[in-house]
Amino acid sequence: MSRRLPHSLGALAAVLAAMSLPAVSVAGQAPAPAATRAAAKPAAAPARPYVQPKTPWGDPDLQGIWNDATSTPLQRPARLGEKGVLAEEEADQFAEELAEDLNRDRRDGGPEADVNRAYNEHWMDAKRLEATKDRRTSLIVDPPDGRIPPRIAPTPEAAKIRAARAEADARFVAGLPDDVEDFSLPVRCIIRTDSPPYLPTIYNNDFQIFQSPGFVVIQPEMIHSARVIPVDGRPHLTKNIKLWLGDTRGHWEGNTLVVETTNFRDDPGVTYQNTDAGTFTIIERFTRVGPDRINYEYTVSDPKTWTKPWKAMIPWNKTDDQIYEYACHEFNYDLVHLMHGSRLRQAKGETVPARAPRPGADDR
């Protein structure tokens, strides 16, 4: 029996082949120390300096529809150590393995895996099976091991909130939610992948950037919110206004849009990776490095969560796709189905198993 390879692999191979020419000289050189290479510019930098287009009012032009899907993992597989960038042949192999791991049409894991993969490739963004063209082994570029720095033990208060959240997740996963608040914020359609930082996910990876004098506006595909970024130097809102998506200000550093977001609400799950909304910081940088590509970088820190700040870079590739309306709350039938089912099952005496499986592929 031949294992079915995702059809996008052919296209991926073509892409990699096409871009391997300028990269060969780099790949053929003596390898730089791994730590340097991890932080170095992507291998496939264009030969001539790219001239960034400007808007009619003189700002760097980022307008367009962009897609950030990739199979390259946020964190580097531990076996690769500090190897931040792969040689061409290794990269092909790595990309193939990633695509195979992510492929949800596989039927080689037994009935339980099959059920988990029932939400199959039909629903997925095929672009998420493609590794980044710069042949990196992780989206994280700092620290050099490509992994999120160690977590700091939460305060007793934070631990309590987190434990309550874990119990709610367990009820959700068991199909036995008590309350609508047991569902995560994405499932409740309050925030989804529109909350910074922007990370590749299973589908709806498009972002449309609009600009007008004094503003850059990002419309993530999921949900339909617009992130309005003033670039006119105005101060942040006062701390009395808290927002699900935070209060965003931007400025230009050369051709790079630098974005700082503050004033996040402190509900569990609002700030990235369960950080503390009071101490979490995030700086995002958008740099157009070619006609069809923006490098999106984010640096996050939270002295209550991680031992040090860390940084990731995700390429955004221009797409000819259109973004269609993402109506979430309006048709959230399954939330009602799950609540309804939970009442029926609880009436029959069902309870949450002691060790309910952890939530699988959440959208965030």
Binding to other proteins (CB under 8 A): which residues in 323-352?
Answer: 323-325, 327, 329-330, 333, 335-336, 339-340, 342-343, 346
Q: Is 5 in the site for other proteins (CB under 8 A)?
A: no
Residues 6+ apart with CB under 8 A from 118: none
Distance CA 320, CA 6 (A): 22
Residue in 157, 132, 121, 108 with CA at minimum distance from that of residue 44: 132
Tokens of 101: 């791991």
Compute the 3-state secondary structure of the chain and give helix, strand, coil in percent, each to the nearest 5: 25, 20, 50
Q: Which is nearer to other proteins, 117 or 224 (CB)?
A: 224
Adjacent-strand bridge partners of 277: none
Q: Which is nearer to other proteins, 131 or 216 (CB)?
A: 216
Q: Is 10 in the site for other proteins (CB under 8 A)?
A: no
Q: Which is nearer to other proteins, 89 or 266 (CB)?
A: 266
Per-residue x/- track, 228-257, other proteins (CB under 8 A):
x-x---xx-x---x-xxx------------
Binding to other proteins (CB under 8 A): which residues in 64-93?
Answer: 64
CA dihedral 166, 170, 173, 175 (to 10 degrees): -130
Q: Which residue has the tokens 């309306």?
A: 325
| Rg, Å, the chain Cα set | 22
Q: Are 70 and 15 in contact (CB under 8 A)?
A: no
Output the smallest distance, CB 308 to other proteins, in A: 31
Q: Which stretch binds other proteins (CB under 8 A): 28-36, 67-75, 123-131, 213-221?
A: 213-221
Q: Is 225 in the site for other proteins (CB under 8 A)?
A: yes
- List the one residue from 17, 152, 226, 361 that touches other proteins (CB under 8 A): 226
Tokens of 133: 């063209």
Q: Is 281 in the site for other proteins (CB under 8 A)?
A: no
Residues 6+ apart with CB under 8 A from 236: 247, 249, 262, 263
Q: Which is nearer to other proteins, 74 or 339 (CB)?
A: 339
CA angle 285, 319, 292 (to 5 degrees): 55
Output the smallest distance, CB 201 to other proteins, in A: 19
Output the smallest distance, CB 286 to other proteins, in A: 15
Q: Is 25 in the site for other proteins (CB under 8 A)?
A: no
- List the one residue from 34, 40, 126, 190 that touches other proteins (CB under 8 A): 190
Q: Which is nearer to other proteins, 117 or 345 (CB)?
A: 345
Residue in 265, 266, 238, 262 with CA at minimum distance from that of residue 250: 262
Q: Is 210 in the site for other proteins (CB under 8 A)?
A: yes
Q: Are 121 and 105 in contact (CB under 8 A)?
A: yes
Tokens of 11: 């296209």
Chain residues binding other proteins by CB under 8 A are: 55-57, 61, 63-64, 178-181, 188-191, 208, 210-213, 215, 217, 219, 223-226, 228, 230, 234-235, 237, 241, 243-245, 322-325, 327, 329-330, 333, 335-336, 339-340, 342-343, 346
